[in-house]
Copies of this chain bind each other. A is one copy, B any other.
Amino acid sequence: MSEMIKITYREALKAGIREALTNDERVFLMGEDVGRYGGAFAVSKGLLQEFGEDRVMDVPLSESGFVGAGIGASLAGMKPIVEVMTVNFGLLPMDQIVNNAATMLHMSGGQINVPVVIRMSCGIGKQLAAQHSHSWEPLFAHIPGLVVLSVGTHEDARGMLHTALEHPDPVIIFEYTSMLNREAEIPADAGPMDISLAKVRREGKDISIITYGIGVHKSMEAAEKLAEQGIDAEVIDLRVLRPLDEKCFLESVVKTHRALLVEEAWGSINVSSEVSARIMEKAFFDLDAPVKRLGGVEVPIPYPLHLENASVPQVDDIVNAVIKILRP
């Protein structure tokens, strides 16, 4: 195994973008304030200076327009990385993403593929209140034709973009604002990551905690706490929200016979609903207990810290839910 380096999630994302810009002239980064401002969250800071205005393009407030333009540029030979500053503004270009990017290949009978990559920062955790704290992974993950990624770890932050840019079809990448300053160790030579498989982040035999995004960290923490109580939890990071890697989580459930699904998105019609339904369909007879879900409370996110915290599952909620499943 190679040398390990300590890196923040922000630095890992930036390293991925920098590498992409370096390796392929057709790659460019476009988005609101990615250049002169340095990126709303400083992810792209310095890249304008390094690569110039043609490669790092600030765009006006016009999400439908510039996302559509990114799609168009991808049709004509470029490899755009389009940044929608945060998913909160991601409904404005949603028609472009769904009716154009996700649909063009099909409605042209396979002639025209759309190799665009769209990055959006998302999630809760900065007291940004109802219009700025959305977790809309489920909305995009519902759409066939898209590849939808959730960047739950630093390795993925470093490497998923590379593989996404090689994909011939539109890829949506969700990054987590609240993880930007978090440090972790990754191999110094970390690079391209597969973008088709879920991953077992922690092996365990008693229960499968299936999650993604920030949920990965909370679930890992919960698993450590559970270990102290003699409960051996397996933690699965879905990573790819569409198309789902069901083989990974079904195998886990077949082994552990129990599952808890954790996500921060609103609690109904979300990724966990789908995972639960698939376990129902394909691993029902392996279950020793009903699959449970911990999702976001179905409320626009409130501003005060205590209510914000209460609106998504926390580590203790996960611990308690697991205990309740195992020791009812």
Contacts and interface: CB of A to CB of B under 8 A. Distances in A.
Nearest to A292: B281
A290 B281 contact: yes
A262 to B, nearest CB: 13
A142 B269 contact: yes
Contacts of A139: 139, 142
Nearest to A90: B95
Interface in A254-300: 266, 268-274, 276-277, 279-281, 284-285, 287, 289-293, 298-300
A4 interface: no
A87 to B, nearest CB: 11
Copies of this chain present in the complex amount to: 2
Contact of A300 (B64, B89, B145): B145
A151 B98 CA distance: 25
Given A95-B91, A139-B139, A242-B268, A291 B300 contact: no
A299 B91 contact: no
B290 A144 contact: no
Given A94-B94, A95-B91, A276-B280, A131 B144 contact: no
A138 B269 contact: yes
A278 to B, nearest CB: 8
A272 B291 CA distance: 16
Nearest to A102: B300
A92 interface: yes
Given A280-B280, A284-B287, A284-B289, 5 more contacts: A91-B91, A102-B300, A141-B269, A272-B277, A280-B291
